[in-house]
């Protein structure tokens, strides 16, 4: 909170040019110009897809981790924070802290969130395994319901059931407390419960070693076909896509994605990583991305982490950024496959980083009102922004939030800049707010041009 007197003390000698002021009340939008590169998220968006990454809450304090996330990706999947052992360690006692941290970060940047995962044999607290069938059914449905209702409206797609089938040629279900005590019907029950808990979320079945046509993917295919025929709610199938030299991108990857899509579900690449380096890794990545782009209902790609150093299999260097957040050849091949610019700034090209601003009044009382300014990055990512807010001479801005203000000598022109990191992915937004004491003048503030860098 910044009081009037504190604000006056904090004034800088900043003199803002007249060109920075736009005389318009209500909603306004203006742009400023700088230069920037194309990104994974923006390039994928131009193809109607998202490009996401797994995120770990405990790295959100690391500046290059966050700036790479914010700049390059427009979807996140909590890597471990939404698993059963993280959310419901003791029966019916839910703790959402780290998962909420990831969701709020994503929301503040207009990123989608994939929920991962509700019913899985792994990372399951031991109390679940000791329940009898009746108790387990109730615990499973309660877990799905509580978690999905907590995040209702905030999750784009949920991995409702994860990895329920065995590897190998049997096509059988994997042994788990759910399978062993509730039988095959647990998957259907989980999906029905999930639909009731958040009708807007897309409900996915997610698995690995199902990326090409094989006995395991055939078994999943038959289940999805059966669900669609019987009206069991399922919207999407996730293909984890963990590849290495022993398990390369299958030659029939695209055909396999397409046969599932043809059942009437979306398909998503949910945990992509490919061990290796250099051009062979880059080639494999572009084949995977091209397979998705060739299937209309392949709606997005998530890589399983940002930097090699935090990968679940770091020694295989399977991701797009190395341990120092340098872009690897695989990054450039993915960007090229997505139709991006090559990922380097082109200062000779006009255009580049821009932002626009809009204003709305959010609340009003007898003597004051609250205003909110939304800053939106243009078609390229930006690393910072600033915007002038001018109030009438009788008015006084007494409080601000979500930004760092400075003031001109009149006290009527506030220049707002980001709190800390100002990076915004292409097309994403952030907002700041303030309270205006009217002193009888109810005019809306005037916004200057948004300046991006
Ligand atoms: O956080 C603790 C730390 O406090 C402790 O010191 C350390 C000691 O082992 O463990 C840390 O937790 C680890 C956690 O990752 C966070 O790093 C767990 O042991 C470890 O088991 C866990 O591994 C995760 C794995 O799922 C568990 O099955 C990986 O991060 C995660 O990437 C991986 O993700 C799975 C998907 O959910 C499903 N598909 C396969 C994929 C890869 O295995």
Task: Using the atom order of ligand 1, give the atom closest to the CA of residue 304.
Answer: 32
Residue of the nearest CA to atom 16 in ligand 1? Answer: 80
Structural domain tally of the chain? 2
Residue 211 beta carbon below 6 angstroms from any ligand 1 atom: no
3-state helix/strand/coil string of 179-228: HHHHCCHHHHHHHHHHHHHCCCCEEEEEECCCCCCCHHHHHHHHHHHHHH
Per the annotation, the verdict on 271 as an active-site residue is yes
| Nearest one of 394, 393, 373, 360 to 448, comparing CA atoms | 373
Distance 212 CA to ligand 1 centre (A): 25
Cα gap 423→109, rounded to integer Å:
9
327 in the same domain as 280: yes
432 in the same domain as 294: no
Q: What is the pLDDT of residue 365?
A: 83
Cα gap 450→32, rounded to integer Å:
5
Residue of the nearest CA to atom 30 in ligand 1? Answer: 312
Cα gap 79→312, rounded to integer Å:
10
118 in the same domain as 44: yes
Helix, strand, coil % (nearest 5) of the chain?
30, 25, 40
Residue 344 beta carbon below 6 angstroms from any ligand 1 atom: no
Pocket probe mutation, ligand 1, options 241, 305, 312, 315, max atoms within 8 Å of Cβ: 312
**What are the CA-CA distances from residue 190 to residues 86, 195, 226, 361 (Å)?**
19, 9, 15, 43
276 in the same domain as 386: no
- CATH number for 150: 3.20.20.80
- CATH number for 365: 2.60.40.290
392 in the same domain as 419: yes
Q: What is the pLDDT of residue 376?
A: 77
Degrees to nearest 5, angle at CA 41 with 355 and 49 = 120
Q: Which residue range(s) make up the domain with 411?
A: 355-452
Residue 451 beta carbon below 6 angstroms from any ligand 1 atom: no
- Residue 58 located in a structural domain: yes
374 in the same domain as 317: no
Q: Which of 307, 338, 369 is the last residue of a domain?
A: 338
| Cβ atoms of 403 and 386 closer than 8 Å | no
163 in the same domain as 103: yes
399 in the same domain as 319: no
- Residue 349 located in a structural domain: no
Distance 40 CA to ligand 1 centre (A): 26
- Residue 446 located in a structural domain: yes
Q: Which of 285, 305, 338 is the last residue of a domain?
A: 338
Residue of the nearest CA to atom 13 in ligand 1? Answer: 80
Query: Do strands 354-364 and 404-407 pair parallel, antiparallel, or not at all (unpaired)?
Result: unpaired
- Residue 5 located in a structural domain: no
Mean pLDDT by 10 residues, the chain (453 residues): 40 27 27 51 96 98 98 98 98 98 98 98 98 98 98 98 98 98 98 98 98 98 98 98 98 98 98 98 98 98 98 98 98 95 44 72 85 82 90 92 90 92 84 92 80 88
| Nearest one of 192, 191, 226 to 205, comparing CA atoms | 191
DSSP 8-state assignment for residue 58: G
| Nearest one of 29, 36, 34, 32 to 16, comparing CA atoms | 32
Cα gap 213→252, rounded to integer Å:
7
363 in the same domain as 322: no
Task: Using the atom order of ligand 1, give the atom closest to the CA of residue 83.
Answer: 37
**What are the CA-CA distances from residue 307 to residues 313, 317, 327, 417 (Å)?**
11, 9, 9, 29
Distance 213 CA to ligand 1 centre (A): 28
**Cis (ω within 30 of 0) for the bond into 376?**
no
- 3 state SS of 447: strand
294 in the same domain as 382: no
Buried/exposed 103-125: b ≥16 CB within 10 Å, e otherwise: bebbeebebbbbbbbbbbbeebb
Q: Within a 13 Å sphere around the CA of 332, how many CA atoms are in the beta-carbon half? A: 11
Distance 80 CA to ligand 1 centre (A): 7
- Residue 385 located in a structural domain: yes
Q: Which of 311, 338, 365 is the last residue of a domain?
A: 338
- Residue 433 located in a structural domain: yes
Q: What is the pLDDT of residue 24?
A: 23
| Cβ atoms of 403 and 374 closer than 8 Å | no
Q: What is the pLDDT of residue 36?
A: 28
**Which tokens go with 77?**
């999947």
Residue of the nearest CA to atom 42 in ligand 1? Answer: 312
Residue 122 beta carbon below 6 angstroms from any ligand 1 atom: yes
| Cβ atoms of 120 and 84 closer than 8 Å | yes
437 in the same domain as 366: yes
> Dihedrals φ, ψ of 370, to 5°?
-100, 135
Cα Rg, the chain, nearest whole Å: 25
Helices and strands (H and E) in the chain: how many: 13, 19
CB atoms < 10 A from the CB of 100, how many?
A: 16
Q: Catalytic pick from 81, 163, 189, 271?
A: 271
| Nearest one of 38, 21, 42 to 30, comparing CA atoms | 21
- Residue 241 located in a structural domain: yes
316 in the same domain as 383: no
- Residue 373 located in a structural domain: yes
């Amino acid at each position: 909170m910044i009081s009037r007197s504190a604000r006056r003390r904090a004034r800088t000698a900043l003199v803002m040019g007249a060109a920075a002021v736009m005389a318009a009340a209500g909603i306004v939008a203006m742009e400023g110009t700088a230069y920037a590169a194309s990104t994974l998220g923006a390039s994928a968006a131009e193809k109607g897809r998202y490009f996401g990454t797994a995120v770990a809450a405990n790295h959100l304090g690391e500046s290059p981790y966050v700036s790479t996330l914010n700049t390059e990706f427009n979807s996140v999947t909590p890597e471990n924070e939404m698993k059963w052992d993280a959310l419901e360690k003791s029966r019916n006692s839910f703790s959402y802290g780290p998962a909420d941290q990831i969701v709020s970060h994503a929301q503040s940047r207009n990123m989608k969130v994939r929920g991962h995962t509700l019913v899985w044999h792994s990372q399951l607290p031991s109390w679940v395994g000791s329940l009898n069938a009746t108790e387990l059914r109730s615990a499973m449905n309660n877990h799905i319901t509580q978690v999905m209702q907590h995040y209702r409206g905030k999750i784009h797609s949920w991995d409702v059931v994860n990895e329920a089938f065995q590897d190998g040629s049997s096509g059988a279900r994997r042994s788990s407390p759910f399978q062993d005590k509730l039988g095959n019907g647990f998957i259907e029950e989980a999906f029905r419960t999930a639909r009731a808990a958040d009708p807007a979320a897309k409900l996915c079945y997610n698995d690995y070693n199902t990326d090409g046509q094989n006995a395991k993917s055939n078994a999943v295919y038959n289940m999805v076909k059966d669900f669609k025929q019987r009206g069991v709610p399922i919207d999407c199938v996730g293909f984890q896509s963990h590849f290495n030299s022993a398990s390369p991108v299958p030659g029939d990857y695209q055909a396999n994605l397409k046969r599932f899509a043809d059942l009437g579900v979306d398909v998503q690449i949910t945990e992509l990583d490919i061990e290796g380096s250099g051009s062979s890794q880059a080639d494999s990545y572009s084949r995977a991305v091209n397979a998705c782009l060739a299937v209309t209902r392949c709606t997005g790609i998530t890589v399983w982490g940002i930097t090699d150093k935090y990968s679940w299999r770091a020694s295989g260097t399977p991701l797009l950024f190395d341990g120092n957040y340098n872009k690897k050849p695989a990054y450039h091949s993915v960007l090229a496959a997505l139709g991006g610019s090559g990922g380097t700034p082109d200062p000779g090209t006009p255009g580049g980083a821009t932002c626009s601003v809009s204003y709305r009044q959010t609340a009003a009382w007898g003597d004051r009102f609250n205003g909110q300014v939304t800053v939106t990055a243009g078609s390229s990512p930006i690393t910072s922004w600033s915007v002038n807010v001018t109030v009438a001479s009788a008015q006084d801005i007494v409080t601000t939030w979500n930004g760092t203000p400075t003031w001109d000598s009149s006290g009527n022109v506030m220049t707002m800049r980001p709190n800390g990191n100002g990076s915004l992915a292409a097309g994403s937004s952030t907002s700041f707010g303030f309270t205006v004491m009217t002193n009888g003048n109810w005019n809306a503030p005037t916004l200057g041009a948004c300046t991006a860098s």
